Structure 1
Amino acid sequence: MNADSMNQEVKRGLKNRHIQMIALGGAIGTGLFYGSAGVVKIAGPAITLSYLLGGAIIFFIMRALGEMAVDQPVSGSFSQYAYQYWGELPGFIAGWNYWFNYVVVGMAELSVVGAYINYWLPDIPTWISALVCLVIITLINLVNVKFYGEFEFWFALIKVLAIVGMIVFGLGMILFGIGNGGNPIGIANLWSHGGFLPNGLEGIVMSLVLVMFSFGGVELVGITAGEAENPKKTIPQAINQVVWRILLFYIGAMGVILAIFPWTEMASTGSPFVQIFTHVGISSAANLLNFVVLTAALSAYNSALYSNGRILYGLAAQGNAPKFFGKVNASGTPVNAILVSTAFTLLVVLISYLNPEKVFMYLMALATISIIINWAIILIVQLKSRQQKALAKQPVLFKMPLYPLSTYLSLAFLVAVVCIMALMPDMVFSLYIAPLWLFCLYLGHKAKKAAQKNRASVSEEKVG
């Protein structure tokens, strides 16, 4: 293999600790730190049950992806699996939809950066904050995957330690009255303001949409498989930790927050983590947590841009995107794919300038429907890969639990979430955009096939 061909491949530079923290960071983003305030208003203290239910489904989706990623650790992840086990059109749709998803997720993460910076510097326009952060994260991604892995490792570690610290400090307030004049707060707030289920089962059901948005990003571990040094070991470890991760960081953190702070007094915007410590007069802790939620948003955007670059690289390798996106630099970084993805994400700077108040909800709606499409594709492709492996009598190295019941149950759950979105005024518009987007992808695939046919005809004429 010559030097030029070697430079057209991504490098396996992600170590076990990188994979673990990338998977962990994918589960902890703006959905928990920022979006959880709005979810609490819908379900009250019962939001913990919503996270438990959504977390169970996410675990099955992750195991479905892990089953294929361990067998075939490629950079294109489930787009490549869809292409292989389902067909060219599903592979084309899976890849481009996932790229679109992470462009929107990146926009959503950047859109709230301004809110965190305004906590300290209220006079700085949100669009300036978004632009500066976009440039910094792009530069980080352009270096090499090991540098990205190190950056994400430390940013994710900040999030993890902050949440653990918040839970420990919160338990101190609940049990011993630390920060509350020595008077234990207790857990009565979980049922003293309209009950544990203040809005009934309807509250839990309606909260599931925002809960599932919060979990968007956990499937990023499948993308890292193509650059993991030992994917058959690290991928199963990262995926199996999804369960305790969700229990600790979502259910544990929200349980502590809602025990300390009456859910009825929580603002529907901003970070509930910061709100709590500001409310009880601990300004230094509030400042620290604001820094943490800022790093969480930057970390999530960092992961989104990383994913975008690898997805476009994978699409180029399949022939589903221009070869321009398949070119990498000497360190194995798909520079062109990253820069083009950044260019599209720049739209959020304009949107933040025009309507900073509504931008997060609109972007969250688009991100939610696109990630649901991705998850559904993962589950369907896993069914098809199992069928093909059974026919070929090939072993499954990392089996999905309760297969095939878990796969069908997860698909039904995703359909239910889409139906719930149809009942939400701020979400329903995304259900009109999704079919149009899928139709555009269908036309794009047809155009690609037509172009291939024309090139083949020209080649035959030249040979003749």
Structure 2
Amino acid sequence: MIALGGVIGTGLFLGSGLIIHQAGPGGAILSFIIGGLLMYLVMLCLGELAVAMPTAGSFQEYATKYIGPSTGFMIGWLYWFSWACTIGLEFTSAGILLQRWFPDIPVWLWCLAFSVILFAVNAISARSFAETEFWFSAIKVAAILLFIIIGIGAIFGMIHLKDGEPAPLFRHLTDHGGLFPNGVFAILLTMVTVNFSFQGTELVGIAAGESESPEKTLPRSIRNIIWRTMVFFVLSIAVLAALLPWQTAGTVDSPFVVVLDKVGIPYAADIMNFIIITAVLSVANSGLYASSRMLWSLSKDGKGPEFTKKLSKRKIPINALLVTMVVSALSLLTSVVAPKTVYVWLISISGMVLVVVWMSICLSQYFFRKQFLKAGGDVKDLVFRTPLYPFVPLAGFIAFGIVLISLFFIEDQRIGLYCGIPFMAACYIIYYLKIKPKEEAKQFGTITKT
């Protein structure tokens, strides 16, 4: 449930409009199918790693052990930075959506209020986090299913559109340039945004570190999260593409709200707007949970600030929560920069970083299995096995590498590279100048004592 709650958020409810506009109706549907399959490859790799080595540090510890300590250090900080930016993105999205009802209240003020509320929720206990996520997820799942039903009814004329507009059937899929009005190549240009829409599935790996029996719960969770997200995302996009002309889709408003505005059901659009707000806050909630524990794990291993190791009496990494909230305050830039501009900046940065993290998961699994077999291990002893090894991890790594390269050709998303590449370079520099000498000195001290 944690992973499902972490997935369904602004990427689907707001980013889908941009994807439909860029790739066209058929391209958007195909983009999400491809994105779902790539996500599945990552989850298969993560499943083997997380069951064999459940740990709260998850990705950075796998990368440290099987790729290299400098890369593990970089991945840990990169993933934390990604979620800290995503939290700010979700706050910004919620503030933008609330302007539908409260146009006079600035977005930054909503961002500040959400920061205080979600910090309090996560500071109470992990149990309060889980309970909050359960209700957030239940609302989102019910809303998406209801939207799909209403949308299908509107497509075939069982539910009438406002102003007597005839049932569109498949007109929006075939008119105005057809399924791929901007060409098939446009699909590649949307993949970073699509991948961002699936951000959160990897939370299964982090949750495994705090699970009582990960060998039983994790395989089932991975199977469930895959088919559920594929059904929710692909069906939702298909309904949107059939009801919304691709030229009018974008990020100004949620396409879900725009579609329901066209349906003659009183208050349907307002209800969906409220649900979307709960959805994006759910993602912020999941992200705060995940990133604070990643920062705590880094600090515990001597790779982060000493003060962020502190746990509260309830075993909550309270200082790590505080630091993460400070970075998420990037959403407060909406006080001086247009909110929609801040939204594009943050989604580009988070999407680029996520691609790198997913690449590291694939590569970690590849080297883990290789070392496991070299050490005389039997694949049958692995409770969860990544199938079709080494094809699955290598295919995932190469595919995400292509997606990363595509960013150079997308002008409005290059900011992800402009921020992400220097951040990664800084992580490597800090590791070799500060962290590695400290680790070597500690290791030398241990040897001399013995």
Shorter chain as normaliser: what TM range?
over 0.9
Kindly report which structure 2 residues correspond to 1:101-112, keeping only aligned pairs within 5 A, or say none: 101-112=82-93
User: Cα offset for 1:283?
Assistant: 4.5
Indicate the residue corresponding to 2:358 in structure 1. Answer: 375
Q: Retained in 2: the 8 A contact 1:170–1:260?
A: yes
Distance 2:416 2:436 in 1: 28
Distance 2:437 2:195 in 1: 38
User: Cα offset for 1:401?
Assistant: 2.2
Q: Which moved more, 1:288-297 or 1:311-320?
A: 311-320
Q: Retained in 2: the 8 A contact 1:114–1:130?
A: yes
| Cα separation, partners in 2 of 1:400 and 1:177, compared to 1, 3 Å | same
Determine helix, strand or coil for the equivalent of 2:409.
coil
Query: Does the alignment pair 1:253 with 2:253?
Result: no
Distance 1:170 1:338 in 2: 40
Match of 1:418 among 382, 387, 404: 404
Indicate the residue corresponding to 2:413 in structure 1. Answer: 427
Match of 2:217 among 200, 224, 234: 234
Q: Retained in 1: the 8 A contact 2:4–2:200?
A: no
Determine helix, strand or coil for the equivalent of 2:219.
helix
Match of 2:307 among 312, 324, 327: 324
TM-score w.r.t. the length of structure 1 is 0.90
Query: Does the alignment pair 1:118 with 2:99?
Result: yes
User: Cα offset for 1:284?
Assistant: 0.6
Q: Deviations over 1:30-67 (max 9, x none)?
A: 01001111111111111101110111111001110111
Unaligned stretches of 5+ residues in structure 1: 1-20
Indicate the residue corresponding to 1:441 in structure 2. Answer: 427
Q: Retained in 2: the 8 A contact 1:80–1:314?
A: no
Indicate the residue corresponding to 1:138 in structure 2. Answer: 119
Indicate the residue corresponding to 1:159 in structure 2. Answer: 140
Indicate the residue corresponding to 2:193 in structure 1. Answer: 210
Q: Deviations over 1:283-332 (max 9, x none)?
A: 51101100111011100111111111110121123221234222212222
Distance 1:333 1:416 in 2: 39
Q: Retained in 1: the 8 A contact 2:45–2:365?
A: yes
Distance 1:200 1:454 in 2: 57
Query: Does the alignment pair 1:29 with 2:16?
Result: no
Kindly report which structure 2 residues correspond to 1:308-457, keeping only aligned pairs within 5 A, or say none: 308-394=291-377, 395-446=381-432, 447-452=434-439
Match of 1:302 among 280, 285, 289: 285
- Which residue identity lines up with residue 40 of structure 1 in the other structure? I
- Which residue identity lines up with residue 241 of structure 2 in the other structure? L
- Which residue identity lines up with residue 160 of structure 2 in the other structure? G
Unaligned stretches of 5+ residues in structure 2: none
Determine helix, strand or coil for the equivalent of 2:209.
helix
Distance 2:32 2:440 in 1: 49
User: Cα offset for 1:277?
Assistant: 1.1
| Cα separation, partners in 2 of 1:397 and 1:454, compared to 1, 3 Å | closer
Q: Retained in 1: the 8 A contact 2:119–2:321?
A: yes
Determine helix, strand or coil for the equivalent of 2:176.
coil
| Cα separation, partners in 2 of 1:304 and 1:315, compared to 1, 3 Å | same
Determine helix, strand or coil for the equivalent of 2:315.
coil
Kindly report which structure 2 residues correspond to 1:15-94, keeping only aligned pairs within 5 A, or say none: 21-46=1-26, 47-94=28-75
User: Cα offset for 1:334?
Assistant: 1.1
| Cα separation, partners in 2 of 1:353 and 1:294, compared to 1, 3 Å | farther
- Which residue identity lines up with residue 26 of structure 1 in the other structure? G
| Cα separation, partners in 2 of 1:455 and 1:408, compared to 1, 3 Å | closer
TM-score w.r.t. the length of structure 2 is 0.93
User: Cα offset for 1:379?
Assistant: 0.9
Q: Retained in 2: the 8 A contact 1:25–1:300?
A: yes
Q: Retained in 2: the 8 A contact 1:152–1:302?
A: yes
**How many pairs align?**
442
User: Cα offset for 1:433?
Assistant: 2.9
Q: Which moved more, 1:412-421 or 1:442-451?
A: 442-451
| Cα separation, partners in 2 of 1:174 and 1:460, compared to 1, 3 Å | closer
